[in-house]
Amino acid sequence: MSIDLPIQLSYLVVALLFILGLKAMSSPVTARRGILWAGVGMVIATLVTFATPHMGNFGYMIVALVLGAALAAWLGRIVKMTDMPQMVAVYNGMGGGAAAAIAAVEFAKATAAASAGGALAAGAATAASAGAAVGAAGAGEGLGLAATILALLGSLIGAVAFAGSIVAFLKLQGLMKKAHRLPSQNFFVILFLAAALGLGGWIVATSLPGALGLQGWMLLAFYAVALVLGVMVTTPIGGADMPVVISLLNAFTGLAVGLEGFVLKNPALIIAGIVVGASGTLLTQLMAKAMNRKIGKIIFAPITGEALAGEAIKGTMKEASAVDVASMMRYAEKVIIVPGYGMAVAGAQHKVWELTKLLQEAGVTVKFAIHPVAGRMPGHMNVLLAEAGVPYDLIFDLEEINEEFAQADVALVIGANDVVNPSARTDKSSPIYGMPILNADHARNVICNKRGKGTGYSGIENALFYGENTRMLYGSAQAAIAEVIAGVKTML
């Protein structure tokens, strides 16, 4: 216990640093400090763990640690800001995988103990938890009942988060294009979930006194079912629902980590995991609310290709030249820019900021309106604009700015689509009906930049493009805005 106390105290400090760090991230002013505190916490936690009593295998440990950290840090450095969501999905999946693997190691120890039939091996299985008093466990009882249940739950959730995150990555990276849906998908999801729980129950039963003992194939089947379940749940989800799913999987991983923390009796894991599980759940709810979608509906009744009907939209799209757009914006009093992910993909955010500065010099008030789900994650667009140098006090949320569109002379929509689609307010048959949108159509003039005439990422027709006061500015965002900038410059 005397060696143990400094470790426990360090973990306490670590937990405090994590919580304070997350709290500091609640304001843009202190956010940077927050991640640094949490980073210090992680370094302390890692270093202190090396001093845990009865540890071995340091060679393997250091190699795996250095390789994993170096590879991920390198990827994190080079990833483009637009690809950030899939990167977060990958790291999240790794965390979930690690949680599932921890349980697998513990089970492997338990099975080894069972086959050895010795109390000695069973004791070794629990030596992982420093100071745990299970040394006298008999053959076949490596982990104990409660720990077995928690380890299985953590494994199930971790494996689902792992497989689901990989699928989310493949989708966001564009390697998996369509949202596939099995016939009677929900039935199979429930079947697999039942299979996982059933297998889990069986494994728990084997750890009871007098039972035959844990068999390796049961665990293998359990993990296989859990992984398939993760793939099945995530595969049919597409388009705009993706950010909610990543957030949900993030919460899942947190929970899985927390549960494995119980198995290992490690307070740092428990606190950090559960805090993330709870905050991730709340974040997921906030996101789903912003889209007016129920979390259950996203998973069990995702928007799919066939459902994309909606009413046919009457009217035609009217085109405007870059010079027209330039003069509209130059002589406006107030311009609201609605950026979408399309702008970021085209890499036009720097051009948009250049245009903003020009207009500001000409005395035009320019604001940015961001929908909660603009980009691939909530807040993603803010990151992309920040990267281009746009100060965050020019950027406004849906609730802050929606009333202002009526007073705006020009609303410039760049690469955004569903989040400004008035069908969400009016057309009950539209798949996005009821989703809160930015009221860009209330502005006196609406300019929509679009590459061509097709539907957007989610495949839903946009009524805004056919509006009376809407003009289409065709062309890739970067080239089109560059032309507008050239136009504005001649009018200064």
Q: Is 50 or 331 the residue whose CB approaches another protein more closely? A: 50
Is residue 331 close enough to count as binding another protein by CB under 8 A?
Answer: no
Give counts: helices (H), strands (E), the chain.
Answer: 18, 6
Q: What is the Cα–Cα distance from 248 to 164, expressed in whole angstroms?
A: 10
Q: Is 59 or 296 the residue whose CB approaches another protein more closely? A: 59
118, 383, 38: which is closest to 30 by C-alpha? 38
CA 185 to chain centre: 23
Q: Is 84 or 326 the residue whose CB approaches another protein more closely? A: 84
- In one-letter notation, the amino acid at residue 89 is A
Is residue 338 close enough to count as binding another protein by CB under 8 A?
Answer: no
Is residue 339 close enough to count as binding another protein by CB under 8 A?
Answer: no
How near is the Cβ of 129 to another protein at its closest, in Å?
A: 8
DSSP letter string over 305-350? GGG---PPPPS---B--HHHHHHHHHT-SEEEEEE-HHHHHTT-HH
Please compute, for residue 130, the number of CA atoms within 13 A of its CA located in the half-sphere on the CB side: 18
How near is the Cβ of 281 to another protein at its closest, in Å?
A: 8
| 437 DSSP assignment | -
Give the angle 416-418-423 at the CA atoms, nearest 5°: 135
Is residue 489 close enough to count as binding another protein by CB under 8 A?
Answer: no
Is residue 137 close enough to count as binding another protein by CB under 8 A?
Answer: no
Is residue 120 close enough to count as binding another protein by CB under 8 A?
Answer: no
Footprint of another protein on 174-233 (CB under 8 A):
none
Helices (H), 127-182: 145-172
Token pair, residue 411, equals 């609303």
How near is the Cβ of 144 to another protein at its closest, in Å?
A: 6
How near is the Cβ of 142 to another protein at its closest, in Å?
A: 12
Name the maximum alpha-carbon separation found in the chain.
88
Is residue 55 close enough to count as binding another protein by CB under 8 A?
Answer: yes
Which residue's entry shows tokens 């795996």?
64
Is residue 362 close enough to count as binding another protein by CB under 8 A?
Answer: no
Is residue 128 close enough to count as binding another protein by CB under 8 A?
Answer: yes
Write a three-state SS string for 53-104.
CCCCCHHHHHHHHHHHHHHHHHHHHHCCHHHHHHHHHHHHHHHHHHHHHHHH
Q: Is 63 or 491 the residue whose CB approaches another protein more closely? A: 63
The yes-or-no answer on residue 393 being catalytic is no
Residue 157 in contact with residue 255, Cβ under 8 Å?
Answer: yes
Site string for another protein, 68-97 (x = CB under 8 A): xxxxxx-xxx-x-x--xx-xx-xxx-xx-x
How near is the Cβ of 357 to another protein at its closest, in Å?
A: 11
Give the angle 11-12-15 at the CA atoms, nearest 5°: 85
Footprint of another protein on 96-115 (CB under 8 A):
97-99, 101-102, 104-106, 108-109, 112
Q: What is the Cα–Cα distance from 395 to 376, expressed in whole angstroms?
A: 18
Is residue 387 close enough to count as binding another protein by CB under 8 A?
Answer: yes
Q: What is the Cα–Cα distance from 14 to 268, expressed in whole angstroms?
A: 7
Token pair, residue 93, equals 């999946």
Footprint of another protein on 8-47 (CB under 8 A):
14, 18-19, 21-23, 25-29, 31-32, 34-36, 38-39, 42, 45-46
- In one-letter notation, the amino acid at residue 26 is S
Is residue 352 close enough to count as binding another protein by CB under 8 A?
Answer: no
Is residue 138 close enough to count as binding another protein by CB under 8 A?
Answer: no
Q: Is 23 or 180 the residue whose CB approaches another protein more closely? A: 23
Site string for another protein, 277-316 (x = CB under 8 A): xxxxxxx--xx--x--------------------------
Beta-carbon contacts of residue 198 (< 8 Å; ≥ 6 apart): none
How near is the Cβ of 333 to another protein at its closest, in Å?
A: 20
Q: Is 224 or 274 the residue whose CB approaches another protein more closely? A: 274
Contacting range for another protein; rule: CB under 8 A; set: 60-68, 332-340, 420-428, 472-480: 60-68
How near is the Cβ of 419 to another protein at its closest, in Å?
A: 13
Give the angle 28-342-315 at the CA atoms, nearest 5°: 125
Q: Is 62 or 307 the residue whose CB approaches another protein more closely? A: 62
Q: Is 10 or 206 the residue whose CB approaches another protein more closely? A: 10
196 φ/ψ angles, rounded to the nearest 5 degrees = -65, -45
Q: How many Å is the Cα radius of gyration of the chain?
A: 27
How near is the Cβ of 416 to another protein at its closest, in Å?
A: 16
Q: Is 75 or 307 the residue whose CB approaches another protein more closely? A: 75
Residue 352 in contact with residue 481, Cβ under 8 Å?
Answer: yes
Contacting range for another protein; rule: CB under 8 A; set: 59-67, 176-184, 185-193, 198-206: 59-67
- In one-letter notation, the amino acid at residue 407 is Q
How near is the Cβ of 9 to another protein at its closest, in Å?
A: 15
Footprint of another protein on 147-166 (CB under 8 A):
147, 150
Footprint of another protein on 391-450 (CB under 8 A):
391-395, 397
Q: Among the options 4, 83, 409, 418, which is catalytic?
A: 418
What are 203's strand-pairing partners? none
**Which residues are annotated as catalytic?**
418
